[in-house]
């Protein structure tokens, strides 16, 4: 019996035992990590990030997986995570761009440029090779596509690989997660000690001019003949239909005053396109609202039916988009969005423009959260199992402990500087700022931590998605440029 369990954990049994070994290791890393994530010290928990550390421990003691399997699980988990984020925040993404998205992306660019400048400065001050520093920078901002881009650029240029890039990444990654989260905690305690009273102009709760008809309809609520009720659009045939064409006001005497979509409050205009799963606030008499319910459906049970076809088609299209090489004049090697940036861009586009082509991209909040949690858990488990093998040896015998300090500087300093600018110059609220800083560092664990701080708000996720695509592009670009220009 002892030999049986040893073969399962060490992966030395037959083919079926090898499969069991992989599943058992992965499941235990995630389970133990999630359990530790519920433990709070001084009211603070690192949440799902514990999965990464448990994976490192397992790998250090010889309980790891096949490298090819780890690579697949890492990328697949990340794809599930970012795609579910895109589906959630896509409906509010373009609205957020109109109400401060350019400023938020400029704030993200500040984080990126400062990180690159600090990395190059440390290279010239300490003499650490650019290859190692590029790996440290990618780990410090938890940017796996940047790591891959740097490795590919080096091998394409010199014909061989440089293991120091991956080692620098592995050593800096854990503190890249912790440093980002600690920066958030520090900013919340110091920068946001006083109540934040200024209206948020930058993300989910953007302010817009209200239609006079809406104000008139809401003013009638004092009359006992009029009531207000939220109705769910659960008829698939209404997906993508323009609100004004339904004639709810002229035919039924009811007025749609608000539309809630993926946690975002939108202004109800005659030109807005309705989406399957929208919650509309209707003002009118009992009879008129009953008639509107029949038109819109108002069946929550129908919303529980999964729509998997658009999800997997979107993932396939995202992977194809992420694999397209983008040639930039003056740079010898093309860059790519990667298997994280591509699916995110596609999910944002599909969730926003899909209804115009009668494509239903709606998923319930619980289903979206389940996919997101599974994705980030698999991703962190795979990263931990991959990094743990040479982690201790690099730190103890190869001076890696100094690399940790370099990575911490690259992580924290740009965060705090951008946090100061975001809080006191741009007047961004805490949840949005945390999401923007997470997106600028392409840091899924940091976003998970930020989202857990206020589970009733999607501001962090919207801020993340607002800056993530552009941040991913420049993270990958700068990682390649550092290898091509400074090695």
- Residue 170's nearest CA partner among 113, 132, 127, 115 is 132
Among 166, 236, 190, which residue's Cα sits nearest to residue 419? 190
- Ranges of each domain in the chain: 62-201+308-486, 221-303
The residue among 325 and 35 whose pLDDT is bigger is 35
pLDDT tens, residue by residue, 156-211: 788 888 888 888 888 888 888 889 989 999 999 999 887 655 444 447 444 445 56
- Whether residue 436 is predicted with pLDDT greater than 90 in this model: the reply is yes
Give which of 371, 316, 299, 279 is closest to 87, Cα–Cα: 371
Query: Which of 32-36, 47-51, 65-69, 209-213 is predicted least confidently?
Result: 209-213
Does the structure show a pLDDT above 80 at 483?
A: yes
Q: Please tell me the least confidently modeled range out of 317-326, 332-341, 460-469.
A: 332-341
pLDDT of amino acid 133: 96
> Are 439 and 428 a contacting pair, CB within 8 Å?
no
Quickly state the pLDDT bin for 16 (edges 50, 70, 90).
very low
> Among 145, 93, 99, which residue's Cα sits nearest to residue 345?
93
- For range 313-340, the mean pLDDT: 83
d(CA 319, CA 339): 5
Torsion of CA 151, 155, 158, 160, to 10 degrees: 110
CB 79 within 8 A of CB 317: no
* Tens of pLDDT, residues 104-119: 999 999 999 999 999 9
Using alpha carbons, select from 74, 119, 170 the residue that is nearest to residue 481: 119
Token output for 432: 């949005």
Please count the residues of the chain: 487
CATH superfamily membership of 221-303:
Regulator of K+ conductance, C-terminal domain (3.30.70.1450)
């Amino acid at each position: 019996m002892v030999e049986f369990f040893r073969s399962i954990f060490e992966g030395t049994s037959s083919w079926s035992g090898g499969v069991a070994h992989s599943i058992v290791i992965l499941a235990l890393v995630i389970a133990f990590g999630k359990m530790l994530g519920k433990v709070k010290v001084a009211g603070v928990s690192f949440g799902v990030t514990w999965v990464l550390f448990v994976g490192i421990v397992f790998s250090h003691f010889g309980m790891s997986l096949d490298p090819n399997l780890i690579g697949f699980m890492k990328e697949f988990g990340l794809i599930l995570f970012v795609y579910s984020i895109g589906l959630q925040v896509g409906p509010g993404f373009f609205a957020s761009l109109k109400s401060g998205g350019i400023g938020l992306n400029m704030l993200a660019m500040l984080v990126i440029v400062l990180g690159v400048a600090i990395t190059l400065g440390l290279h010239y001050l300490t003499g650490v090779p650019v290859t190692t520093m590029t790996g440290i920078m990618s780990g410090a901002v938890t940017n796996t596509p940047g790591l891959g881009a740097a490795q590919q650029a080096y091998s394409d240029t010199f014909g061989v690989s440089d293991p120091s890039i991956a080692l620098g990444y592995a050593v800096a990654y854990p503190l890249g997660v912790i440093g980002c989260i600690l920066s958030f905690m520090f900013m919340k305690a110091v920068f946001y000690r006083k109540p934040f009273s200024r209206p948020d102009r930058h993300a989910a709760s953007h302010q817009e001019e209200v239609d006079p008809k809406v104000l008139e309809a809401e003013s009638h609520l004092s009359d006992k003949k009029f009531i207000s009720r939220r109705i769910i659009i659960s008829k698939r045939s209404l997906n993508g239909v323009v609100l004004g064409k339904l004639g709810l006001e002229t035919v039924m005497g009811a007025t749609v005053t608000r539309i809630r979509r993926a946690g975002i409050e939108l202004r109800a205009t005659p030109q807005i396109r309705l989406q399957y799963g929208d919650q509309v606030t209707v003002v009118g008499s009992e009879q008129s609202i009953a008639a509107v319910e029949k038109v819109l459906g108002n069946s929550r049970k129908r919303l529980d039916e999964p729509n998997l076809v658009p999800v997997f088609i979107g993932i396939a299209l995202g992977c194809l988009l992420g694999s397209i090489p983008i040639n930039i004049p003056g740079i010898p090697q093309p860059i790519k969005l990667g298997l994280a940036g591509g699916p995110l861009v596609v999910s944002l586009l599909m969730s926003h423009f899909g209804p115009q082509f009668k494509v239903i991209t709606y998923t319930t909040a619980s289903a979206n959260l389940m996919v997101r949690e599974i994705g980030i858990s698999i991703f962190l488990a795979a990263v931990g199992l991959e990094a743990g093998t040479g982690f201790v040896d690099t730190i103890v015998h190869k001076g890696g402990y100094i690399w940790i300090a370099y990575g911490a500087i690259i992580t924290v300093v740009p965060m705090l500087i951008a946090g100061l600018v975001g809080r006191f110059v741009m007047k961004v609220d805490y949840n949005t700022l945390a999401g923007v800083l997470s997106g600028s560092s392409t840091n899924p664990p940091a976003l998970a931590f930020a989202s857990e701080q206020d589970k009733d708000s999607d501001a962090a996720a919207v801020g993340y998605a607002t800056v993530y695509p552009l941040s991913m592009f420049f993270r990958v670009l700068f990682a390649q440029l550092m290898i091509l220009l400074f090695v």
